[in-house]
Structure 1
Amino acid sequence: MANGSGSRGRGGASRRGGPARAASKGRPRPAPKTPRRAEPTPPPEPREFRLGAVPGATPGKWIGVWRERLPHVSLELREIPVAAQREALGDVDAALVRLPLAASDDVHVIELYEELPVVVAATESHLLAADELTLADLAGEIVIVPADDVLHTEVPDAVAPAFAPPADTAEAIATVAAGVGVVIVPMSLARAHQRRDVDYRVLADGPRSTVALAWLRENTTDDVETFVGIVRGRTARSSR
């Protein structure tokens, strides 16, 4: 009886443990949880930034930086006449203008740089013998003032032209190239209308032209603030 009982005890233990372990080995293990992937950030929506610029303004380096930093924001450059620069602010996001600009509480203006005035004369003019000119050097000269003049230079003892003012700077310089008179313009305009039959010299005591960035205060956007940062030399990581 004892042996039978012991045998059953061992046998019973074996029977109880054996199937349990077998069942445990045969049960499928739960699959490991797959970590959730972060949703991809959607690309920025394409948009446009409209930059106005008066003749002679040189925004090239700033436009290059803009295109590097904001390739998804196309920049459209629009030339605007100085005479209508204030009104043009309503059609662009920001503009490079020439001061003075009509004072107004609704316009924000940041001065950027000054341009030297120059005297444009025909290549055979005796004025070009000097490296630099003064207003006194222009006494007796015919000084042409185009309709789009931005300097409003007062030249003592200058001779007034006997013809109507040219419509614009390009026409005035063409007249000078024909050997008639001189014209005083910011250096950038002299370079913009450069031709082989004229040259220019700095007018040391002439008025300078200030180029500024302007925009309507109500149109202040993140893109405008970004362009302001670019013209002020801020890096992409700089805070505003």
Structure 2
Amino acid sequence: MPSFPLYSPLRSASLKTECISQSNKQYRSKHSVPCAALFRLRYSRVSRKEIPVERVERRPRSHRCRASTYQGNSASDHANALISDRQSRLLRHQGGIVVGLGDPIVDALVFAEDEQLCELGYETGGCIPVDSYDDIEELLATFPEETRTPGGSAANVIRGLAGFNQVGFKCAFIGKVGTDAAGAQYACGLEERGITSLLHQSDTSTPTGICISLVSPDGQRTMRPYL
């Protein structure tokens, strides 16, 4: 009959010791730190003053946000503190320049009645591009009174920044316009608003981009751009 080993507490204890020793060897080979040292480091009764700690230098008080030290109760008080802090930082950096780079588009603003839009076959609202520049000229001929302003996403941002005259920095705009009257009007419009015009004229016969906004009596805009 086959003989089976009997259960022995000593045998089980020796097996556990072998497993623990093997795991310790694997841990030492992986981390190159003895387990005993880790045990002493973790469970030793050493005061925190004796443990070396890497100190991180704090920023000077002048670089901290003033809004963080503002003791306000309402959200509006906190927002006002943020705005004042931002303005103070801008005032400390006077003499800079902000340059915008984008596509110059002339915004032509025209006031139109609903009957005029029906005669043209336009639905109120929306933005539909125009295929040719001749269609733009025909549409502008229908409305003798118009208001032209420099437009485009980047130019609108620069125009908004140029309105903060108390800040003290300069604004400039870079773009490409056509060799036509619309391009010259665009440059003059920038200069009138205190923006330095750094426009480049196209060598081809491509005209300057324009967007006609037909404004209804209720304030709805119907846009026809030529880009």
State whether TM-score is above 0.5: no
Q: TM-score, normalised by structure 1?
A: 0.23
Higher Rg of the two aligned structures: 1
Task: Tell me which protein shows more helix as a share of its residues.
Answer: 2
